[in-house]
């Protein structure tokens, strides 16, 4: 680690917080400085390894903000605790890279950044859906390579999605927002698979369907199905939004891909290992009308051999949450988690809207601490 990679803000701060990547916006830093923190930021774009993080934690560190590219396990939580660490926040909503039970064992609250990624990520899933359906990347490449010789009836035929069936696997915040965007925008029917029924989504789309009918349009439906297989085989587009854990690792494998329609579209903005990427490469090779839109990969930043050569796959580098508003919002929430705990504030209830933290008078609370219950942290009292 080169010392020049690190930038220190507010060197006279009484508490010390490390941040393993520079974050967008200015507000997150103001929040930490207002909590009397000296803030040490790694300015390098390289992934910060465990040794480097331990070195940075050093002998005195009150809190840390880490990235999804790092593995936060027992080693780091033990080092953080020994250095006096009282809180860690992931700069992400997904925290499959964080061993929360280790953090809990060491008494370290773990924060994440829900709520501010929802629309941004759902919009990227919609973008990938249509980029795949309408072959945008192939067509763009065709234009740039000077191959366009004039309009043709059969040039780049894709799939019409209006009125088709969209399948959503994992129908929480982001999945249900994507479902609404597709249903409202393109009058698609929705089928979904999730452990829990999403009554709010079903009611919302039932009401929307009535509105359509009252305007003389065809109704739409929204149904929860019992199995992943039923969802895959019923849908023209499948978008994946589960968390990554042991139950969702390689959820989409060779056998399940074979149950999908030959011209289906598969979109993944969740986590790469939800798909067996090698099986997807083989499936896309054998089924040229099948298309995929991928934001995440099994071995990021690598791709499985052959993936990048497939014309029926659209690939982007894990940017589904990459809008300025969202990334600045994530920084504000991560900093508020750390500052909130260091200030001794209570924890904001999970069911409550997170947006007040983005406003001018943020609540005196830590916005999202995933192990608050296990650690017996006080809830926000208002």
Stretch that binds ligand DGY, among 26-34, 87-95, 197-205, 304-312 (CB under 6 A): 87-95
* Per-residue binder mask for ligand DGY (CB under 6 A), 47-86, x = binder: ---------------------x------------------
Cβ neighbours for 119, distance < 8 A, ≥ 6 positions apart: 177
d(CA 228, CA 17): 43
Stretch that binds ligand DGY, among 23-31, 90-98, 147-155, 304-312 (CB under 6 A): 90-98
Q: How far is the CB of 333 from ligand DGY (least distance, A)?
A: 10
Stretch that binds ligand DGY, among 49-57, 92-100, 272-280, 368-376 (CB under 6 A): 92-100
Strands across the sheet with 291-294, in order? 222-224, 189-193, 165-169, 237-240, 265-268, 291-294, 313-315
Q: How far is the CB of 320 from ligand DGY (least distance, A)?
A: 6
d(CA 54, CA 74): 12
Stretch that binds ligand DGY, among 41-49, 69-77, 89-97, 126-134 (CB under 6 A): 89-97
* H or E segment to which residue 168 belongs: strand 165-169
The CA distances from residue 99 to 92, 95, 236, 347, in Å, are 14, 8, 36, 20
Partners of 315 in beta bridges: 294
d(CA 354, CA 333): 9
> Following CA atoms 363, 365, 366, 368 in sequence, which dihedral angle do they give, to the nearest 10 degrees?
-70
Is residue 92 within the footprint of ligand DGY (CB under 6 A)?
yes
Is residue 39 within the footprint of ligand DGY (CB under 6 A)?
no
d(CA 251, CA 142): 34
Q: Cβ closer to ligand DGY: 103 or 174? A: 174
Binding residues for ligand DGY restricted to 261-320, rule: CB under 6 A: 320
Is residue 94 within the footprint of ligand DGY (CB under 6 A)?
yes
Q: How far is the CB of 74 from ligand DGY (least distance, A)?
A: 22
Q: How far is the CB of 323 from ligand DGY (least distance, A)?
A: 10
Is residue 43 within 8 A of residue 65, CB to CB? The reply is no
Is residue 117 within the footprint of ligand DGY (CB under 6 A)?
yes
Is residue 329 within the footprint of ligand DGY (CB under 6 A)?
no
149-158: list long-range contacts, CB under 8 Å, 24+ apart: 158/133, 158/134
Q: Is 189 helix (H, G, I), strand (E, B) or coil?
A: strand
Is residue 132 within the footprint of ligand DGY (CB under 6 A)?
no
Among 32, 93, 128, 257, binds ligand DGY (CB under 6 A): 93
Binding residues for ligand DGY restricted to 146-175, rule: CB under 6 A: none
Q: Which residues are catalytic?
A: 271, 300, 318
Q: Cβ closer to ligand DGY: 287 or 323? A: 323
- Site of interaction with ligand DGY (CB under 6 A): 68, 92-94, 117, 320-321
């Amino acid at each position: 680690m080169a010392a020049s990679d690190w930038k220190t803000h507010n060197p006279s701060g009484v508490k010390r917080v490390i941040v393993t990547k520079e974050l967008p916006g200015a507000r997150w830093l103001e929040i930490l400085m207002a909590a009397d923190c000296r803030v040490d930021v790694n300015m390098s774009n390289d992934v910060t390894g465990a040794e480097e993080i331990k070195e940075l934690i050093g002998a005195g560190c009150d809190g840390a903000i880490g990235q999804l590219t790092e593995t936060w396990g027992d080693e780091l939580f033990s080092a953080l605790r020994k250095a006096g660490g009282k809180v860690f926040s992931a700069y992400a909503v997904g925290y499959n890279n964080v061993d929360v039970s280790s953090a809990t064992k060491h008494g370290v609250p773990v924060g994440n950044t829900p709520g501010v990624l929802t629309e941004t990520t759902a919009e990227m899933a919609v973008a990938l859906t249509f980029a795949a359906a309408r072959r945008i990347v192939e067509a763009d490449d065709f234009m740039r390579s000077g191959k366009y010789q004039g309009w043709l009836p059969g040039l780049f035929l894709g799939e019409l999605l209006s009125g088709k069936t969209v399948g959503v696997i994992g129908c929480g915040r982001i999945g249900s927002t994507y479902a609404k965007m597709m249903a409202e925008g393109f009058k698609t029917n929705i089928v979904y698979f999730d452990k829990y029924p999403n009554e709010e989504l079903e009611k919302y789309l039932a009401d929307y369907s009535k509105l359509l009918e009252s305007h003389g349009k065809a109704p739409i439906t929204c149904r929860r199905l019992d199995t992943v297989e039923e969802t895959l085989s019923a849908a023209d587009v499948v978008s994946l939004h589960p968390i990554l854990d042991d139950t969702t690792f390689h959820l989409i494998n060779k056998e399940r891909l074979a149950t999908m329609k030959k011209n289906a579209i598969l979109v993944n903005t969740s986590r790469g290992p939800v798909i067996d990427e090698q099986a997807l490469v083989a499936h896309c090779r054998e089924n040229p009308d099948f298309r995929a839109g991928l934001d995440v990969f099994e071995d990021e930043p690598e791709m499985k051999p052959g993936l990048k050569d497939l014309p029926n796959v659209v690939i982007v580098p894990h940017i589904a949450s990459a809008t300025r508003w969202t990334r600045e919002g994530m920084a504000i929430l991560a900093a508020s988690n750390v500052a909130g705990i260091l200030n001794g504030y209570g924890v904001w209830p999970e069911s409550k809207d997170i947006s007040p933290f983005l406003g001018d008078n943020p609540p005196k609370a830590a916005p999202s601490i995933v192990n608050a219950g296990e650690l017996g942290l006080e809830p926000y009292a208002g």
